[in-house]
Amino acid sequence: MSDFESRARKAADAVRRQINEHTSDAEKGIRRAQRSPSRVAIPSAVAAAAVLIAGVAIALPRGGGDGGTSSAEGAAYAMAGALQPFDTCDSVLAYFKDQAPEYLIQRVGGGAVPSRTDAGGSATERTVPNAGRAADSSGSAEKSAGTPQAHSTTNVQEAGVDEPDIVKTDGKRIVAVAQARVHLVGLDGGKMTLRKTLPDTMVRNVFLAGDRLLVFSGQEGQGFAAGSRWAGQQAVLTMYDISDLGDPQRIATLTIDGDVLDARLVGTQVRVVTVSAPDVDAPSPVYEPDGNISQKSKDELRAAVAKTTVDDWIPAYTLRDGVGADVSKGRLVDCANLAHPEKFSGLDTVAVSSFDIGSDLQSRKSVGVIAGGQQIYATDKSTYVSTTEWSRDGSAATTSLHKFLTASSGATTYEGSGVVPGTLLNQYAMSEYDGVLRVASTVSERRGWVNARQVTEGVVTTLQEQGGALRQLGQVGGLGQQDNESIRAVRFIEDRGYIVTFRQTDPLYVLDLRNPAALKVVGELKIPGYSGYLHPIGKNLLLGVGQSGLDSSNPPTPTRRAQIGVQFSLFDISDPASPRRIDTQTYGGGTAAAEFDPKAFLYWQPRDLIIAPTNLQGDYRGRGAFSGLVLLRADARGLSEIGRLATTEAYGSVNRSVVIGDTVYMLSDHALQASSLDTHRETGKLVL
């Protein structure tokens, strides 16, 4: 089973359980961190599962809820993040020693709250369109040696801001990630040839720019050795020259303590966001019968923190050249380039490192903030990192946001932080337009004492950097509150916002964001089912990818599920006050990959063709099972299926597709298959 399929199935099952049970449980977003028998690892902040199932958190009570602007209480969220830089390493160490003991005692004593999520020649400079405009994967007509054909690109959130993916092409070759390995595929007259499989293992995704290939992978720590520091999880970035596919040359390898949250490529500048959680040498905690940590363990933990040095807290890096020899090593972020929010945000270090993809990784520029990291969103200049602070005692779940600014030279600065109520669904819950950050979050709280009830709503908040903090400009709430619905999909397109909430039905809300201080809900449409991903088709159409559902007048029962099949919905959004669903295409039980992984979606604009990797389960005998590509066309009249391209069961689930010329290539767990867009017949197959 592929990494995508595993994540998608787990997320889908969690969504279905929530719908069928009609309950919310904050504990679903919390798990204990793994602890070494001889060490106490400092926990990070938010589970990856909570990213996909974002509506189950407990949040602070909010006034109103009628769709109006927020109360003074809401405004206080975004006032908590003023910039607090460090000047020396001594001040960094003093901060950790002051904050760590009681924080760790609380976390170890009450159960750790995890934070990391599962991320993944020089390119020519290109013009970046206005931030806030929806990007598409319509393709490229760039010319280079070999005269590549028109080809699709990764489906990204912002035009001109590339995102790493498991398949990349420049029209003359394909780089595919399968079984966590990188496969270099040559195209000769349309015939696929596996030229090389790179030695990297545990690969997540890649960037391809010109003849440069940047591979993101990872490695687990080697454990504790006496007199040495615990290796922990490490991120590995490897740069290759693939001008000769059959003989790729490794240029450099950068190993970083921690994990890569995500990365972006703008022009030739790569931005990599990492999060690192330090360790403290201390015996495993001993608990009293009441479940609290013993006084002896508390004292040992305080003593362990007192013995630490600054290098125990700041993540380290090692740079090696193409043959594996050490070039340099040390702190990933210099003390003078570290900062912390005014409001304490944990002990992790989130670092933004930038470099030119044509470099050998020696001229990196890194800046960091001591806080947790979960999701990233980026424009051509700004990078925002979010993390959710969960609670086990029924108090608020809030999401912190940290802004970094990257100049054209690659120099990055930390601009400040802010806070919004609730939890974020994914990176699409954030969007910057005209210097204003728009954030969609799900807020859930228990109201009452004796007959407590769960109240859930969607909230959209606007923030802007002012005086070293992200300060709130406006807020609108009440989205889905009537039926206790959580946000399931978000798309901000210029000065409009489109929000899908779901519990039994699928309200699509249209927001007017022209005045960031006075947000308005101007349209609403309620239909069965829900959309997990929204994609603009032209100017007036919006496509939703998700699941169909039962009518709210006929709710699910323990023997009757709420979701009955993959569904593509087409909305007419030409009139913001009156959005209409003009057509649907519904299939059997299963998932369309884009529902949980937007990079799986492909809109091939030259043919107005929607290409969607889809995996259907079939009945108990397997009848109706399907794994492959569903081809759809959308226009003002509706949706029509153009065809289906299937893979065989032996090759696993289809995760991605790319178009080169008149051929579509679909990447599954174990194969790359080519088919004609004209005849829909298979023209080639390469087992990986």
Res. 573: pLDDT tops 90: yes
Average pLDDT score over residue span 333-349: 91
Res. 584: pLDDT tops 50: yes
| Contact between 597 and 609 (Cβ < 8 Å) | no
| Contact between 624 and 616 (Cβ < 8 Å) | yes
Could you give the dihedral angle defined by the CA atoms of residues 156, 160, 166 and 169, in that order, rounded to the nearest 10 degrees?
A: 130
406 or 56: which leads in pLDDT: 406
Res. 223: pLDDT tops 50: no
Average pLDDT score over residue span 133-153: 61
3-state DSSP assignment of residue 680: coil
The Cα–Cα gap between 426 and 419 comes to 16
The Cα–Cα gap between 594 and 107 comes to 36
Q: Which of 504, 632, 512 is nearest to 569 (CA)?
A: 632
295-332 pLDDT, tens digit each: 999 999 999 999 999 999 999 999 999 999 999 999 99
395: exposed, middle or buried (Cβ count in 10 Å: 0-12, 13-18, 19+): middle
3-state DSSP assignment of residue 446: strand
| Contact between 37 and 282 (Cβ < 8 Å) | no
Average pLDDT score over residue span 448-473: 85
Res. 592: pLDDT tops 80: yes
The Cα–Cα gap between 113 and 430 comes to 23
Within 8 A by CB and 6+ apart from 452, the residues are 446
pLDDT of residue 650: 80
| Total-model pTM | 0.83
Helices (H) and strands (E) in the chain, counts: 5, 43
Count of beta carbons in the 10 Å neighbourhood of residue 334: 15
Within 8 A by CB and 6+ apart from 211, the residues are 121, 241, 242, 243
The Cα–Cα gap between 339 and 416 comes to 9
251-293 pLDDT, tens digit each: 999 999 999 999 999 999 999 999 998 877 877 888 888 888 8
Q: At what angle do helices 89-110 and 295-306 cross, to 10 degrees?
A: 160
Q: Which of 510, 505, 561, 554 is nearest to 534 (CA)?
A: 510
| Contact between 24 and 18 (Cβ < 8 Å) | yes
The Cα–Cα gap between 175 and 151 comes to 13
